[in-house]
Amino acid sequence: PFNLAERKTNSHSVVECDHARKEVSVRTGGLADKSSRKTYTFDMVFGASTKQIDVYRSVVCPILDEVIMGYNCTVFAYGQTGTGKTFTMEGERSPNEAYTWEEDPLAGIIPRTLHQIFEKLTDSGTEFSVKVSLLEIYNEELFDLLNPSSDVSERLQMFDDPRNKRGVIIKGLEEITVHNKDEVYQILEKGAAKRTTAATLMNAYSSRSHSVFSVTIHMKETTIDGEELVKIGKLNLVDLAGSENIGRSGAVDKRAREAGNINQSLLTLGRVITALVERTPHVPYRESKLTRILQDSLGGRTKTSIIATISPASSNLE
């Protein structure tokens, strides 16, 4: 749906979604020219009236099953600032306090995921533990959003993991053990308070950084022979920085540099995904911090979903 800035400019909608055909059509000629349009096909399409639960069930539920089987997976939210990435990933609390948060229609992917992990593993009788971390990548620097220290500018160092050739170790990253689903919102609120935000013309609360919420599950199972096995599954839920161009964002000086770094990591992510799809021998994971951190969860026996959020407003036509 339109955001406040788009409503103020009296924009009209130029986007139509066809759920059955999984198509998005953009009227490129504006209101007067109904015939000129571009149509794009996706694996799934969600219109402005789609509920949070529908996106979660369609996109995340199948991936969560893989994580519980012991695989590493990733879900990205990608798009222009102000199109609903953070709302999709984190959601909001409804003003109606009668809702528990798992009933809350505004709850996003992160709280729903944690809720379902606890539900599935408790029902199966599996002995398990859940740890979460929340990392921010800002101007190619790493910051821990769950570190109890009041120093928000403390940068983290990243090293290759000698035990896992595709993994990295982030020195000093706080991993919090979550004992129940009710602790999740406290963790999200703690992270949001620390997250680097900067007012741009695009969105007064526009985040100029990527955030990576990682959930690691250790599950203990006993085989028929009585042998104890530990399975480890990991899910990265990534809220990417705004993908708008520098001119449109109204960014100047430092902000323009930020936009350059943002574009660098988004371009690298695109190149990594293209290389994986085309099965090229070299995948450029090391060209950005974001792709290096996610290296063990992209490619190979992993699943990745990208939720692309778009604005329907004519003011955003290029």
Give the pLDDT of residue 128. 93
End-to-end CA distance of the chain: 19
Q: Which domains does the chain have, with CATH numbers?
A: 51-308 (3.40.850.10)
CB 168 within 8 A of CB 161: yes
Other C-beta atoms lying within 10 Å of the C-beta of residue 69:
10
Question: Has 86 been labeled as part of a binding site?
Answer: yes
List the one residue out of 138, 112, 65 whose CA is nearest residue 237: 112
Residues 191, 267: Cα–Cα separation, whole Å: 26
Question: Has 200 been labeled as part of a binding site?
Answer: no
Angle between helices 183-194 and 109-124 (to 10 degrees): 150
Secondary structure class of 155 (helix, strand, coil): strand
Residues 84, 88: Cα–Cα separation, whole Å: 6
Question: Has 85 been labeled as part of a binding site?
Answer: yes
Question: Has 81 been labeled as part of a binding site?
Answer: yes
Residues 72, 296: Cα–Cα separation, whole Å: 7
Question: Has 30 been labeled as part of a binding site?
Answer: no
Residues 97, 302: Cα–Cα separation, whole Å: 38
Residues 196, 141: Cα–Cα separation, whole Å: 12
CB 176 within 8 A of CB 131: yes
CB 132 within 8 A of CB 181: no
Residues 236, 156: Cα–Cα separation, whole Å: 18
Q: Which tokens in the block code for residue 13?
A: 């909608």
Helices (H), 15-108: 52-55, 61-68, 85-89
Question: Has 289 been labeled as part of a binding site?
Answer: no
Residues 8, 14: Cα–Cα separation, whole Å: 16
The DSSP output letter for 111 is H
Per-residue pLDDT of the chain (318 residues; tens, 9 = 90+): 777 777 777 777 888 888 889 999 888 775 566 668 889 999 999 988 889 999 999 999 999 999 999 999 999 998 888 888 888 988 877 666 666 656 778 888 988 898 899 989 988 888 899 999 999 888 888 988 888 776 666 889 999 888 887 789 999 899 999 988 778 778 877 777 776 554 454 444 446 788 899 999 999 988 888 888 899 999 999 988 877 654 555 666 666 666 666 667 888 999 999 999 999 999 999 999 999 999 988 887 788 999 999 888 777 777
Question: Has 80 been labeled as part of a binding site?
Answer: yes
Question: Has 126 been labeled as part of a binding site?
Answer: no
Secondary structure class of 118 (helix, strand, coil): helix
Paired with 15 in beta bridges are: 26
Q: Which amino acid is at 233?
A: G
